[in-house]
Amino acid sequence: MSNKWIWFDWLVAAFRYAKVNKYVKQNSIIADVGCGREGAFLKSHAGKITHGYGFDFRINEHEEDNLSFINNKELEGSLPLADCSVDDVFLNAVLEHLEDPAGVISESVRILKSDGRIIMTTPTRIAKPVLEFLSFRLHLINEDEIREHKHYFNKADIKNLIEAVNKHLQGNEQLILEKYSIFEFGFNSLIVLRKK
């Protein structure tokens, strides 16, 4: 087994990035939760943003110009950033890997400024057999990545997740679903949540 991506993994990632790239605002401060061992998404936007924080349990901690890469393996779900300190949080193909998606979303809300967004992509429920076939039978997708999947989400699941998070938010804060759309023939979804 290998943790390395296969060419098809990079192709699928490129489609995901194409969906979320437009949400990166000029001169913003962003966090990429589950940035991967390379931090490719953050690096591709380094010239546009003021600062970027990348979190992943596989990444080597380091600073790279206006980017900070933090290994969060020992952080037990917490993000070492101040309350209301980032404009937007990105979770690109991360939600499906999480034991506690509501906990990670809640922590993302905490670090978000008011009116900030959480932008996510995650495979839909119908993607499960297809991804497993592409991975385990055809070996076109990294098998370890697919074995790590714990959940697949449809729109109702996302709404339930938001409801669970909102029960624990303080004061008047609320997370709202701003956008839900599917792409890649319905196998992947783009979700935009806003902190109000």
By percentage, how much of the chain surpasses pLDDT 70? Answer: 94
Q: Which domains does the chain have, with CATH numbers?
A: 7-195 (3.40.50.150)
Residue 2 clears pLDDT 50, i.e. is over it: no
What sign for the dihedral angle of Cα 76, 80, 85, 90? Answer: negative
Alpha-carbon distance 101 to 8, whole Å? 26
Alpha-carbon distance 123 to 183, whole Å? 10
What beta strand segments (E) does 2-140 contain?
29-33, 51-56, 62-64, 67-71, 86-92, 112-123
pLDDT in tens, 33-58: 999 989 999 999 999 999 999 999 99
pLDDT in tens, 163-183: 999 998 878 899 999 999 999
Give the per-residue SS3 of 33-61: ECCCCCCHHHHHCCCCCCEEEEEECCCCC
pLDDT in tens, 116-155: 999 999 999 999 998 888 888 888 888 888 899 999 999 9
Task: Give buried/exposed letters for 134-158 (b at 16+ CB in 10 A, else e).
Answer: bbeeeeebbeebbeebebbbeeebb
Residue 10 clears pLDDT 70, i.e. is over it: no
